[in-house]
Amino acid sequence: MQVIDESVWSRYRSLFPAGFRRSDLPLPGNLEYFGALQCTAHPVPPAALLEALAAWLADRGEDEVYMFLTEIDRTITEKDYALGRAELTPTSFKGLQGYFYAKVLTAKDFSWALFVDADGVVHVAGEKSLYEAIASVTPQEQA
* Distance between CA atoms of residues 105 and 56, nearest Å: 13
Per-residue exposure over 101-123, b if at least 16 CB sit within 10 Å of its own CB, e if not: bbbbbbbeebebbbbbbeebbbb
Tens digit of each residue's pLDDT (9 = 90 or more) over 103-125: 899 999 999 999 988 888 899 99
What's the domain count of the chain? 1
Residue 25 lies in a domain: no
Angle subtended at Cα 71 by Cα 68 and Cα 14, rounded to the nearest 5 degrees: 55
72 within domain boundaries: yes
Give the pLDDT confidence of 123-142 residue by residue, as tens digits: 999 999 999 999 999 865 44
60 in a structural domain: yes
Residue 111 is assigned to a structural domain of this protein: yes
User: Does residue 122 lie in a domain region?
Assistant: yes
Indicate whether 143 belongs to any domain.
Answer: no
C-alpha span between 40 and 139 (Å, rounded) = 10
| Secondary structure class of 41 (helix, strand, coil) | coil
